[in-house]
Amino acid sequence: MQRLFVALQYLLPQRLLTRIAGALARNEALAGLLIRLFIRRYRVDMSEARDPDPASYRCFNEFFTRRLKEDARPLERREGAVLCPADGALSQSGTIGEMLVQAKGIEFDTTRLLGGDKALARELVGGSFMTIYLSPRDYHRIHLPLAGRLLQSRYLPGKLFSVDDASTALIPGLFCRNERLVSVFDGDCGRFVVVMVGAMIVAGIRTVWDKAGSPCKAEQSFLDQDLRFVAGEEMGRFQLGSTVILLFPPGAVEFEAGLAPGDSLRMGRSIGRLSK
């Protein structure tokens, strides 16, 4: 069944399905029904939400990107802690080379992931990466793993394959092929990167620096601005979920011992520490 599902994705009209899903997610008349069905299907814990009443959300998008209570995701306060940017499951982690591990037996090109930025890719070789998969039931706002100044964000159009386990294991170069947003920050560890990867029926990737509130569709430089974030601060959100990839420069970060693919992660917990 998994191979059939993956094969169908090559044939399905990905963007048409995504536009239909986006229209449904914005529809206020269907909001109550869609939200109730989703909560039941994925067993969403609404007690964590700032507004726990499903009927209070005007549309499915509002519900899906709901904020949590202030104390729902306490941040690790240990000095030098690298914070998990999102709720999800650890997919892969390891050392950055010219290729990155996507799944067992499958790799993808680092430079291609970064939109062809060879200089940035060379700078990151020998560093550390971590890939986190967000399931439908997870909290879908993305936060900064470290304090940093935003230097650049680059929207890269692409396919909209699913990023579930089956697709990750069977579609070569999945994260390089899908639509994504590459954000580069300068922090105490040097330049680090947060990649938000889109997927089928993801209605958009939005950032807090996009004042218009519309999905990211351009490359932006912030070198002439002093746009700084603290560790754990929100940077963006998915309208329907996907994957986040973190990339840190050589010698900058040591991930927590014992973390393994499949482990459940929570936004704000420590996933590592700064090496210097």
Q: What is the pLDDT of residues 199-233, one digit of tens each?
A: 876 657 889 988 655 566 667 888 889 999 999 99
| Annotated active-site residue in 143, 153, 162, 183 | 143
| Annotated active-site residue in 87, 117, 138, 153 | 87
Please confirm, yes or no, whether 140 is among the known catalytic residues: no
Query: 101, 249 in Cβ contact below 8 A?
Result: no
What distance in Å separates the CA atoms of residue 17 and residue 74, rounded to the nearest whole number?
37
**pLDDT given for residue 203 in this prediction:** 55
Query: Which residues of the chain have a pLDDT value below 50?
Result: none
**pLDDT given for residue 216 in this prediction:** 65
What distance in Å separates the CA atoms of residue 253 and residue 246, rounded to the nearest whole number?
11
Please confirm, yes or no, whether 242 is among the known catalytic residues: yes
| Annotated active-site residue in 128, 153, 183, 242 | 242
